[in-house]
Every structure is written in C-alpha cells, then in structure tokens.
C-alpha cells in the first residue's frame, strides 16, 4: 500500500484559500439568481397585465418581506457581477497569480459589501 495517500478527505476539515471561497460564492450566487429570476418575471407580468395589477404590485413592493426579497436578489446580482468581472480579468491574465488572486478576492468582497449596503439604502 502507498503510505502517502490522504488520510482524511472530509471537505469540512480542508482549509481552502480565500479565492476558492469567492469562486464558490460566485457559483452559488448564479444559482440564486436563476431562482430569483422567477420572482422578477412575476413582478414584470404583474406590471404589464393591467393598471390594477400594476397598482397591486406597487402596494406589494411596500411590504418589508418583499423589500427584503428584492434586496436579496439585488445583493446576489451585485456579488455575481463583481465576481464575474474579476473572473473576466483573470481570463486575460490580470490577477491570476497566488498573491494577486488573494488581493482580487478581497477587493471583490469589499466592493460587493459596499455596493450591497448602498443597494439596501436604496431599497429601504
């Protein structure tokens, strides 16, 4: 038997670098955006059906729960966009090294948090 084989492959015990976490969050945000698109399309349908439906949509958007859902979808969109720009820059060999990748992950997180807070102020 080869004694150099890994002993433990439990994913919860493996320490991933920060760029790996931002990449995983980018994928998760894409999935959430796909699901959130259904809510947005429903709102679009309500806004285009009739004046009464548009009025009901306007009153629905005043609800705190709906505002939270809209802010959540905006937050995921913002993070996905910022991380996508980072990935595009890495595709053209900008920031694809080990240290620059960590710096890019930090910039992605900080910029996303700032923009998400601004989106929260705008929605609320």
pLDDT tens-digit map of 38-94:
999 999 999 999 999 999 999 999 999 999 999 999 999 999 999 999 999 999 999
pLDDT score at 47:
93
Please, which pLDDT band fits residue 12 given cuts at 50, 70 and 90?
Answer: confident
Instruction: Report the alpha-carbon distance of residue 11 to residue 6 in Å, rounded.
Output: 12
Query: Where would I find the H helices in the chain?
Result: 18-49, 51-60, 64-91, 98-123
CB neighbourhood size of 104 (10 A) = 23
- Over its C-alpha atoms, the chain yields an Rg (Å, rounded) of 20
pLDDT score at 10:
74
């Amino acid at each position: 038997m080869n004694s150099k084989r890994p002993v433990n492959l439990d994913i919860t015990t493996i320490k991933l670098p920060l760029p790996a976490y931002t990449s995983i969050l980018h994928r998760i945000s894409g999935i959430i955006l796909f699901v959130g698109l259904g809510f947005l399309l429903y709102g679009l349908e309500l806004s285009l059906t009739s004046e009464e439906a548009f009025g009901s949509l306007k009153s629905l958007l005043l609800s705190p729960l709906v505002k939270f859902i809209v802010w959540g979808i905006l937050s995921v969109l913002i993070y996905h966009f910022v991380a996508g720009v980072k990935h595009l820059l890495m595709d053209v060999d900008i920031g694809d090294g080990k240290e620059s990748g960590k710096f890019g992950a930090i910039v992605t997180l900080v910029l996303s948090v700032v923009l998400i807070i601004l989106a929260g102020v705008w929605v609320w």
